[in-house]
Structure 1
C-alpha cells in the first residue's frame, strides 16, 4: 500500500505548470537528468527571448529622453522595464540557488513525515489543514489577478485596433510594449510575429515572478505550520500529574523535550536558509515596488484612454497584492516563531523536573528573538515594511504629480 502524498508535494504539484513554462526546476519528488536539462533549456530560451525585448525597451526609454518625448510616454514604459528586471532577478536567483531550494524542500518533507509518524490529534489536524488551505486560497487569488494582467496588457492593443477600425474605418496598429527594433515592427510582414513575441515576453515576466513568489509562500507556510505544531507539542509536553509519575516516565518527558529542542533548532536553521535564498531579490523587490506603485498610479491618473487606464489599474492592484503577500507571509512566519515562547509559558513547566524546566526556559528565551526574513538586512519582511513601501510610493507619486501638473514658464 503506497504512502499518502505529502501536503507540500500536493501544493507544488498543483502549480507545476508554472515551473514547466518558466524553466524553474522545482518539482514534487525526485528529479531526473531529463528534468534538469529540459528546465535549463526552457529557462535559457525564455531568458534570451524576454531580455531582447527588455533591451529594446531600455533603448526606447533613453531614445525618448533624448528626443524629449512626452512625460506620460516615458512613464508608460518605465513600469514595464521595472517589473521585467524584477522578474529577471527573481528567476535568476531561483536557478542559482536551486540546490538550496531542493535541500529546504527535503527538510520540510522530512518534518512533515515526522509529523505523520506522531500520534495526531484534532488540534494538529486543524493546524495542518488551516495552513495548507490558506496558501492554496492565496495562490488562487493571485492566479486570477495575474491572468487578468496578462490579458489586459497582452490583448488590450488588439482590442483598441479593432475599436478604432470599427469607429474610423482605419487600421492603426498597436503593440503591447514600446520597444526599439532594427526594422519597422508595424510592417504587416513582421507585425504578427512581433506581437506574439511581446505577448510571450509578458507571460514569461509575470510567471517568473509568480513562480519565485509561490515557492516563497510555500516555504513560509509550511515552516509556520511546523512552528505552530511545535508550540502545540511544547504546551502538551509536561503532564500535570508529575508527582505521581515514575522515574521512567520522567525520563521519557526529558527525551521528549530534547526532541522538541532539536525540532526548534532545525526550524531556526531552515528560516536562515530561506533568508539566504530570498534576501537579495527581496531587497530589489522592496525598492522596485515603491517605483512600480508610484509610476503605475501616475499612469492611472494621467492617461486619458480608458482601456489603458484599466490595464494600469490591474497592474497597480497586482503589484500591491504581490508585495503585500510577500510581506504578509514573512510576518506570519515571524509571528509563529514568537508564539513558540508563549506555548512554553502556557505549559506545565513549573511542575516539571529541573532539567526539563531549564530546557523549556532555553526555548522560551530563544523564541523571544524572532526568526525573520530580511531584505539583505536593510529591512525585515513584515507588514511594517509593506506600510513603509506604500508610504514611500505615495511620496514619490505626489512629487511626480506635482511636477506633471506644474505650469511651465
Structure 2
C-alpha cells in the first residue's frame, strides 16, 4: 500500500470509530441497500435518534412555556445553542445514513484512485503537501474533540455544583439539570431527577457525535480529493517530455494513452466532488442557516452568565466557529485545487506538440476552468468569503441583541 492509502485507511478508521458511538458507522453493504434498509441495519442509531428527538421536543415545549410566561431573554438564549446543536446533529446524521450508498461509493472511488497512482508512487512535492494536509486535519479533529469534551464536562458537572451551592446557602436540596427542558414529571424531585439527568447527558453526547462524526468524514474526503487533484496537476505538467518527437505515430499514440488516463482520473475526481455535494449539501444548508444565530447567542451568553457557566459557552463558541470554518475552508481548497488543473495544462510543454495534441489539451484546460465546489443545497457556494459573511452577520446580531438586553 502507498503512504496515501495507509493514511486514508487510518483516518477513515478514526472517523468510523467516532461515528460508531452514535450508531452511524460506515458499511460497504450500504451500496446495495435502499434508504429504509440502511436505517433498519442501524438499530442503535435509530434508538439514539429517537432519544435525541425526545430531548429536542422537551426543549421546544420549555421554550413555548417560557415565551408564554415571559421568561428572561437570558434563559431563552441559554436554550438556543443546545437545541440547535441537537437539531443539526439529527440532520447531519440522517443525510449521512440516507446517502449511505453514495458514502460507500465515494470511499471505493477514492481508494481506487489511490491504488492507480500508487504504482508510480507519491512524488516528493505531493507527499509534503499530503503531510501538511494531514497535520491540519488532525489538528481540527483534535481541537474539536477537546472543546467538545470541555463543553460536555462542564454541562454535566455544572448542575451538580449548582445544586450543592443552593443546598449550602438555603439548606434545601433543589436538583438542577444541564439544559432547560419540559418533562411529564417533576424533574427536580430526587426520585425522578436521575432519569432526567441521564437523558440529557446522553442526548448531549449523541448531539456532539452526530455533528462532528459527519464533519470528520467531510474534512477527510475533501483532504484526499485535494491531494488527488494535486497529483493530477503534477502528471499533467509532465505529460509532454522534452525528448519526445511528436512527428512519430507511436509517440502520438503513447501520448493519447497517457492523456486518456488523465482525463478519466479528472472525470472521476469531478464525480467524487459531486458525490460529496450530494451527501452534504442539505445538511450544509442547515449549518450555514443557523451558524450566525448560534455564534451570536453563544457570545451573548458569555457576557451575561456567571463565571462558572462561561466555560461551556466559550468552548461552544470556539467549537462552532471552527466547525463552520472547516466547511468553508475545505470547499475553498477544492475550488482552488480543481481550477489549478487548468494552470497545470498551461505550465506543460504544450507548445512543443502538434496542433492535434494542443487541441486535446485545450479541452482539458477548458473543463478544468469550471471549479469543483460544494454548496449549501445550491443556494450559496461554500468558501472563505461565506465564512467571513457568517461571522459579520453574527457580529451584527450580537450587537443588536446586546443593545436590546441593556435597554
Shift in Å, 1:254? 2.1
Q: 1:32 to 1:347 in 2, by over 3 A?
A: closer
Segments of structure 1 that go 5 or more residues without pairing to the other structure are none
Paired position in structure 2 for 1:327: 328
Query: Which residue among 214, 226, 229 is the counterpart of 1:227?
Result: 229
Query: Which residue among 272, 275, 290 is the counterpart of 2:274?
Result: 272
Paired position in structure 1 for 2:358: 357
Shift in Å, 1:78? 1.7
Distance in 1, Cα, partners of 2:298 & 2:373: 30
Q: 1:140 to 1:4 in 2, by over 3 A?
A: closer
Shift in Å, 1:121? 3.0
Paired position in structure 2 for 1:72: 74
Paired position in structure 2 for 1:312: 313
Paired position in structure 1 for 2:154: 152
The 3-state SS of whatever aligns with 2:175 is coil
1:253 to 2:262 alignment: no
Distance in 2, Cα, partners of 1:380 & 1:197: 38
Paired position in structure 1 for 2:138: 136
Distance in 1, Cα, partners of 2:286 & 2:81: 14
Distance in 2, Cα, partners of 1:2 & 1:68: 62
- Is the contact between residue 86 and residue 288 of structure 1 (CA under 8 Å) also seen in structure 2? no
Distance in 1, Cα, partners of 2:356 & 2:132: 34
Per-residue deviation, residues 332-360 of structure 1 (Å, max 9, x unmatched): 11111111111111111111232322222
Per-residue deviation, residues 138-181 of structure 1 (Å, max 9, x unmatched): 21222212212211222222233344555666543211011111
Shift in Å, 1:247? 3.8
Distance in 1, Cα, partners of 2:276 & 2:152: 29
- Is the contact between residue 23 and residue 38 of structure 1 (CA under 8 Å) also seen in structure 2? no
The 3-state SS of whatever aligns with 2:179 is coil
Distance in 2, Cα, partners of 1:183 & 1:37: 32
Paired position in structure 2 for 1:110: 112
Distance in 1, Cα, partners of 2:28 & 2:126: 23
Runs of 4 or more, structure 1, over 6 Å off, are: 1-4, 28-33, 35-38
The 3-state SS of whatever aligns with 1:158 is helix
- Is the contact between residue 20 and residue 39 of structure 1 (CA under 8 Å) also seen in structure 2? no
Paired position in structure 1 for 2:16: 16
Distance in 2, Cα, partners of 1:278 & 1:248: 46
Q: 1:51 to 1:30 in 2, by over 3 A?
A: closer
Shift in Å, 1:326? 1.1
Shift in Å, 1:31? 9.5
Shift in Å, 1:216? 0.7
Paired position in structure 1 for 2:240: 238
Q: 1:104 to 1:344 in 2, by over 3 A?
A: same
Query: Which residue among 105, 123, 126 is the counterpart of 1:124?
Result: 126
Aligned residues: 404
Distance in 2, Cα, partners of 1:66 & 1:163: 29
Q: 1:156 to 1:272 in 2, by over 3 A?
A: same
Distance in 1, Cα, partners of 2:293 & 2:229: 35
Shift in Å, 1:386? 0.4
The more displaced of 202-211 and 240-249 is 240-249
The more displaced of 182-191 and 125-134 is 125-134
Segments of structure 2 that go 5 or more residues without pairing to the other structure are none
Shift in Å, 1:131? 3.0
- Is the contact between residue 2 and residue 118 of structure 2 (CA under 8 Å) also seen in structure 1? no
Distance in 2, Cα, partners of 1:30 & 1:181: 37
- Is the contact between residue 239 and residue 259 of structure 2 (CA under 8 Å) also seen in structure 1? yes
Distance in 1, Cα, partners of 2:160 & 2:247: 77
The more displaced of 83-92 and 248-257 is 248-257
Paired position in structure 1 for 2:283: 281
Report the TM-score when normalising by structure 2.
0.92
Paired position in structure 1 for 2:337: 336
- Is the contact between residue 298 and residue 313 of structure 2 (CA under 8 Å) also seen in structure 1? yes
The more displaced of 184-193 and 22-31 is 22-31
- Is the contact between residue 23 and residue 39 of structure 1 (CA under 8 Å) also seen in structure 2? no
Query: Which residue among 96, 100, 103 is the counterpart of 2:102?
Result: 100
Paired position in structure 2 for 1:206: 208
- Is the contact between residue 9 and residue 29 of structure 1 (CA under 8 Å) also seen in structure 2? no
Per-residue deviation, residues 174-228 of structure 1 (Å, max 9, x unmatched): 1101111111111111212211110010000011001111111111111111101
The 3-state SS of whatever aligns with 1:242 is coil
Distance in 2, Cα, partners of 1:405 & 1:264: 56
- Is the contact between residue 6 and residue 109 of structure 1 (CA under 8 Å) also seen in structure 2? no
Report the TM-score when normalising by structure 1.
0.92
Paired position in structure 2 for 1:379: 380
Distance in 2, Cα, partners of 1:92 & 1:30: 14
- Is the contact between residue 127 and residue 229 of structure 1 (CA under 8 Å) also seen in structure 2? no
The more displaced of 396-405 and 385-394 is 396-405
